[in-house]
Amino acid sequence: MKFPKMRLLEYKPVIQENIQFLTIYDPLELSDKTLMIPKSLIAAIALIDGKHTIHEIVASLTLLLGIRIPINTIEEFIITLDNTFLLENERSDQAIQTALNAYHAAPYRPSCCAGRTYPEKQEVLYSMFKDLYEELGSSDRSDPDIKLSSHTKFDGVKGIISPHIDYQRGGRVYAQTWKQIKSEVRSADLVVLFGTDHYGSDLFTLTRQNYATPFGILQTDQRIVNHLAQSIKGSKAFQGELRHRTEHSIELATAWLQFTCLDGIVSQPPPIIPVLTGDFLNLNEEDFENLEQFILALRQATDGKKVLYIAAADLAHIGTTFGGESVDFTHRTQLKSSDEELLRIICSGDAEAFLKSIQEVNNRNNICGVGPIYLTLRMTQPTKGEIIAYDLCSADNQGTSIVSICGVVFKN
């Protein structure tokens, strides 16, 4: 506690009774408590970085705010953070291990989104998805400013890009995309799901756990997972495994995967390989070697199988919610143009050109799916993609931030 340090957390500003607070969200959900930090202590968060003592934090806040915050106030604040496992220390390490033991002991990874971002009852979720299917064709498809594929049937499908935004905003794009590949899902021997790891920086994070949604349990092929784990140096394959428990990206694809296998009754979908990925934008020599070893191992493990690859990925995140300018008509127009060029590169099937295009502009549009898309392109080569759907989704109530999403089908 001499040099307290916050864990990697998520923060969201809120206003209650005209008072500004900052809500701290722990992506690992180690505690059932949610902390709301008053404005006077918000500045302290940046100083709880493992480099400052409590006395130094108080001194820095005095210079920054022009008022002296009592040292016992900071001490109590840090104790509260510690009690809710929000600091990097032995206490939170033990809480993580306890949670991980429980995760491993369970028969499957329970849904973290059911009852939160989509219905938890199977029949209600089924009706929701079916309604989205039936609405297709009744009106124009997605965003008319992006040229979409005119095909109604695709042969030789190798993979897709599917969103990981919530169904309320992205449901139409999900439906347009997954409706195109129903037969491929049902005939696949294996489905590999690459999902954005929103709270981790590891290249790959594996899990042996099965995934569950209201539609049932998806079996994870543990033999292949073990084979992949051996290809990742430094025993990092499961280092951040607990993030699977609360990460939504893969889960939001698995529900659609299961839905495509429903014909009035639940039928067993193919087994899956769930892989959380980093963004691959700043690889060192060891990272590059691990990446190539992983791809080689995945190809070896799936040789002879009919595999469907899913990139659970969104595109751009721009606006005030993401630390940028308020979005107006000009920003929207520029984003559509930028996305159209990015999608052209993606549909060319050139994984390296895709990665380079993001690196050259320092990912200025905050593409939230670089890793999953890159891996899907690598694993489906040679391939060509066709844009099935595209949309811009609001990311706040004021209309100042947007997320762009797409559906792309990769085929022979």
Tell me the DSSP string of 73-107: HHHHHHHHHHHTT-BSSHHHHHHHHHHHHHHHHSS
What distance lies between CA 167 and its chain's CA centroid? 14
d(CA 72, CA 23): 22
Asked, as a colleague might, if the bond just before 382 is cis with ω within 30 of 0, I would say yes
Strands (E), 285-400: 307-312, 317-319, 384-394
d(CA 116, CA 168): 12
d(CA 182, CA 96): 38
Out of 76, 102, 128, pick the residue that ends a domain: 102
Number of domains in the chain: 2
Mean pLDDT lowest among 16-20, 34-38, 235-239, 395-399: 16-20
Same domain as 113, residue 98: no
Please, are residues 347 and 386 in contact by the beta-carbon 8 Å criterion?
yes
Same domain as 71, residue 186: no
CATH of residue 267: 3.40.830.10
Residue 3 forms part of a structural domain: no
140: pLDDT confidence band, cut at 50, 70 and 90? very low
Q: Which residue has the higher pLDDT, 65 or 35?
A: 35
What distance lies between CA 88 and its chain's CA centroid? 23
Stretch 196-200: mean pLDDT: 92
Helix (H) / strand (E) element for 212: namely: strand 211-213
Out of 102, 128, 148, pick the residue that ends a domain: 102
Same domain as 96, residue 113: no
Q: What is the DSSP letter of 206?
A: -
**Interval 321-359: pLDDT, tens:** 888 999 999 999 999 999 999 999 999 999 999 999 999
| Other C-beta atoms lying within 10 Å of the C-beta of residue 205 | 25
Q: Report the pLDDT value the prediction gives residue 156, as an integer from 0 to 100.
A: 84
What distance lies between CA 405 and its chain's CA centroid? 13
d(CA 321, CA 152): 37
Same domain as 320, residue 181: yes
Residue 291 forms part of a structural domain: yes
Tell me the DSSP string of 1-43: --S-BB-S-EEEEEEETTEEEEEEE-TT--SS--EEEEHHHHH
Same domain as 272, residue 179: yes
**Interval 257-308: pLDDT, tens:** 999 988 644 468 899 999 999 989 988 988 898 899 999 999 999 999 999 9
Strands (E), 54-196: 157-162, 190-196
Same domain as 131, residue 194: yes
Stretch 145-151: mean pLDDT: 65
Q: What is the DSSP letter of 233?
A: G
Residue 2 forms part of a structural domain: no
Q: What is the DSSP letter of 326?
A: P
Same domain as 165, residue 18: no
For residue 351, the one-letter residue type is A
Closest CA to 205 of 408, 27, 390, 24: 27
Q: Which domain does 187 fall in, by range?
A: 109-411
Q: Report the pLDDT value the prediction gives residue 265, as an integer from 0 to 100.
A: 47
Strand order in the sheet with 10-16: 10-16, 19-25, 35-38
Q: Is 172 helix (H, G, I), strand (E, B) or coil?
A: helix
Same domain as 74, residue 223: no
Q: Is 317 helix (H, G, I), strand (E, B) or coil?
A: strand
pLDDT at 145 over 80: no
Closest CA to 2 of 94, 85, 82, 84: 82
pTM equals 0.91
Q: Which residue has the higher pLDDT, 347 or 146?
A: 347
pLDDT at 137 over 90: no
For residue 11, the one-letter residue type is Y
Same domain as 57, residue 136: no
Out of 87, 102, 117, pick the residue that ends a domain: 102
Same domain as 161, residue 272: yes
Residue 129 forms part of a structural domain: yes
